[in-house]
Amino acid sequence: QVQLVQSGAEVKKPGASVKVSCKASGYTFTSYGISWVRQAPGQGLEWMGWISAYNGNTNYAQKLQGRVTMTTDTSTSTAYMELRSLRSDDTAVYYCARDSSGYSDWGQGTLVTVSS
């Protein structure tokens, strides 16, 4: 079965960077893109961007352009999302999701807390 397993919770100071991983199994990694979605406490879902696991092409949400980088390692079937210059409003649960027609498979979520 398809599984997306994310790295553990992080606590960061404002201005720092965080890199979240998402290890995929149960399907051919390069056949699907990976999207990243975040959810601030008590808020809705916010799409952050997408990466093709086939060729590394990316699309990022405009508000995160310049601060976010998504990458993949096809040798380990792992996707990564790095967010830089963290602010308090980046505190959220970060999800990876397999990009099919809609997101049928999600990681368990990674809580990133930004606090001084």
Contacts with another protein, residue ranges (CB under 8 A): 35, 37, 44-47, 50, 59, 61-62, 95, 100-104, 106-109
If the CB atoms of residues 46 and 82 are measured against another protein, the closer one turns out to be 46
If the CB atoms of residues 61 and 68 are measured against another protein, the closer one turns out to be 61
How far apart are CB 66 and another protein at their closest, in Å? 16
- Cα separation, 93 vs 20, in Å, equals 11
DSSP state of 76: T
Name residues whose C-beta falls within 8 Å of residue 2's C-beta, 6 or more positions apart in sequence.
Answer: 24, 25, 26, 27, 98, 104, 105
If the CB atoms of residues 76 and 108 are measured against another protein, the closer one turns out to be 108
Name residues whose C-beta falls within 8 Å of residue 42's C-beta, 6 or more positions apart in sequence.
Answer: none
How far apart are CB 14 and another protein at their closest, in Å? 26
